[in-house]
Amino acid sequence: MITRYGYDNFFGLLTSGVVLMGLGAVLRNDVIISSALMVLGALIAVFACWFFRDPKRTVPSEALQNDAVVIAPADGKVVQIIVVDEPRLIQGKAMRISIFLSPLDVHVNRVPANGEIIFADYLPGKFLVAMDHRASEENEQTIIGLRNTKGSLIFKQMTGFLARRIVSEAKVGDKYKAGDQFGMMKFGSRMDVIVPESTEILVREGERVVGGESLLCRFR
């Protein structure tokens, strides 16, 4: 299944791939050029289907029933877990969990917990490589605040060196269940979840998580 957040890019890439393969077929008398066009077209088409895929996920029942449970909002590798100051929502010490998405990961983003969106802002910025921890503060990003009966958290979509487009449909007042889709980041990127310092962290640096399925942390 292809994500609706990527229809524009998907069909553009798929059309390009088909056109190149068609040219390869037309120029079949020149074996080298024909083969090169056919292979390139096929690679582009396969990449489009792979990158914009939207696999079915099973959200843990614990996350749906308990507002204290926070799940991974994206596929990828946990690259950093640190204490930060968060003055806007948590208003004090907080834990920031950063997830790096490579171009091969699923890039559909999901809301990490049950709750209501209380702010959703776009912040312009740089395009540092998403593995660079400065990206959490300096890169272009969408920052979203969520509150429920157990606590508050922030989750952020960030562009990277390759990712130059963020798609987010989360708006103030929207109510979500954990695992609901709300957008995507196109190509390599980074996603942060920021929770109160007292939160029980259930993952460690270097661990891979699956968006919509992996338990990330739990409000105490």
- Residues known to be catalytic: 189
Residue holding tokens 């661990």?
207
Whose CA is closest to 17, among 47, 44, 38?
44
Checking DSSP bridges between strand 108-110 and strand 166-168, what pairing results, if any?
unpaired
d(CA 147, CA 187) in angstroms, rounded, equals 29
Burial of 213 (0-12, 13-18, 19+ CB in 10 A): middle
DSSP 2: B
Q: What angle do CA 24, 26, 31 make, to 5 degrees?
A: 55
